Chains A and B, each alone.
Chain A
Amino acid sequence: MLYFSKLRIVSVIVFTVIFSYFAFSNFIKFDDKFFSKNINLGLDLQGGSYLLLEIDNRPVITQKLQAKIIELKRYFKEKQITLKNFSLKEDTISFETTNNEIENVKNILNDKESDVNTYYPTYKSHEFDVLEDGNLFSLNYSRYGLVLLKNSSLDQAIEIVRRRVDEVGTNEPNILKRGNDRILVELPGLDDPNRIKSLLGKTANLTFQFISQNNEESFGTEKLSFEDGSRDAIVSKRIILSGDNLVDAKPTMNSQTNETVVSFSLDRVGAKKFGKATSTGVGKQLAIVLDGKIISAPSIREPIIGGSGQISGDFTFQSATDLALLLRSGALPAPLNIIEERTVGPDLGQDSIDAGILSLFIGFLLVILFMIYKYRAFGLIANLALVSNLFLLIGILTLFEATLTLPGIAGIILTVGMAVDANVLIFERIKEETKNEKNPIIAFDAGYTKSRTTILDANITTLIAAFILFFMGSGPVKGFSVTLGVGILTTLFSVYFIARLLTSLYVVKNKDKEQLL
């Protein structure tokens, strides 16, 4: 165990130097990206906001089911099959058919080539589960149908969230999917997430609808209240134009009224629709509706055919900017709820870094002094291994751009405390061996060999804990598991290569001395 070939010595040194270099690269600045890497600081250390959003898919499901009913009606009408008594209750579509059509309807719904109930060969499942009871049919989203629906609404939502966050222009936001109905938003450096929260909390469904003069519109009417809550209005359900047709929106100053307004421009299709509606509706009031609330309802004085317009409505410059931003980024497919929020101010983050470094330094010093007191020259060797262990650990974390959190710093300090364990095991074993063996080289060799399985067993158990923490933990705790796990690997390296190399050099040089350890 004590023999080292020249090649081995060189490779241990090279390896140590290279990885240790990256520990220092945190403090050196080069132009080259690879050579001046920085460890990532977690939000708890650099300050920032962490938001976990959950999509409320219920409105989407209801919408899709309503559309499905219309589709079914149309499809079976074409096939000249009569379906009646359609109803939608608790996410279940049900309808009845005549007795002699039961088989027919069943075949259509369960056909793998079905046009109205798509079959997904990869999941071996239809979009809807079909249940029949006599002539009564009921359709439910199947498990996979629901998963696909959720995934597609999550994909849309994450895109919109990204656009909105990007528009606010925070520093390197991190936006990730979590499961099939959650979005994680990390905003480093942001200590007041209120604006982002209010932007993400709005679906931003914009529609233009006429205020109804009589209650007998062919599309039906609905009662909506104004944004400021001052009054209600009866609005036609016919949607003239929606936010989808917008190509741009920005806050501007209306030079005549000296008011802040949001001016928008429409795409070709939108401009055409808007032009047509405003030419036939001169004199009517056009309600501008956002998420079910009327922002304003100006009267149309003349047809608007240029494909651009203005929304007025008691805006401050800030609220006009935000509305323009929401309109530009598009509507969310479903409302988002913030189910978890963690914000750390930048000065607390800095305090945590300072406290972490101070306690690392003190812990390190105490362990080093204790080892020298206990083992003298070999304590020095163990300490050299400990120092290089620390450099290797920080170097590897830097190289792989791992995220360092406050518990992660605790993990490093704990590694320092526990790293000497392996060397202690070896040294104590060597002491025992020396009692029966006069030749120090043989005694040292036996000490290393006999303690090896114990050291491996002991470290593998801790590694298991670190692995499980990594896969089960979240955020800061994950950071802890990373430093703990990497710390074990670097500990084994520093003990078996660095400390062993130094020990062998020392022992071979001093083999004639009495009682080395």
Chain B
Amino acid sequence: MGKRLTVARRELASLRSEKTIVLAILIQLFIAAFSSFLAVGLVSLYDPGSVSEGFVVEFAVTGEAGDDIAPVIEREGGWRAVEYGSYGSAMDAFRGGEVHAVLYVDRLPSGQADVEAVVPDGNIRTTLVVTQVRDALDAFERAERKRLRAQLERTPIDLPRDGESSPYFGFTYTVLLPLLMFLPVFLSGSVAVDAIAEEYDRGTLELLRVTPLTATDIVDGKLAAMGALAPLQAGAWLALLSLNGTDISNVAEILLVVTGFSVGVVAMGAFAALRFRDRKQAQFLFSMGILVVFSATYLLPEPPANTVAKLAIGSPQPLTRAMVAAYVVCGLAGYAALRRLVATRGIGE
């Protein structure tokens, strides 16, 4: 045990002396910052209320059935309907920037309402306005269906009221958190490839082999150093997110999943490096292998990203718990297979 710890310490010391671990943390910080910016940016394009309070979307309403839609729009807090006598005057107001969108509402002979919606083009507001137009017309459609309900065989279900949560609540748990949990795992595996390929490439394995270390000791030590880094970083992220006001449930199980993956992925990296020795080939096959493994997990009944999301948001089902166990078992099995390989074949000249 002590011997392995020495190897592990040596690996970590070399990372520390190069200060590259700082770079790793910077990468993750950048990803977290950028994806949050992205989320805020995208949401602000779609949802006015989320960013600026009290933003009112103004619709110019015109056409022969304009009177039918105006009250529907007025019912909502964030919308205002301005009626115009003609399409031309509504368009002038639109071009002049007095209204955000024009709804030209006509009645077809069948009784259907025919709406031509004019929205701004190539403008930062475009997405926002289109979303609002859709919501307004949805409301109008509901009102029309209600009016015509005698002619319907089925009744539409009443909509529940809208919630008041932050629009990026789901994003934090389903995208950001899994990303932050699995990125360190990938980095650890990639560095494990380097740690072994480097010994081959520089010819320093000879030196290690004249020490009283066995082949398994050397591999164990290297894997322990890299395998421990990922759960540590994941834990730090969970702590940071909680400090930031994101409630995270089942922390221990999330870390267990990350550890299971970390053990398995690091063993995969070590296998690629032992097998191919050349860093270029080993890294390429390792990255492609990771791509294959992670996309294959999407064929499982519950992909790992979903497992982490469910655990963190606090909705784990029995299947989730079973998957946690399965991931840990798979990771350990991969590691055991690697050890057997190293014990029987050694690590080469």
The judgment on whether A and B are partners is: no
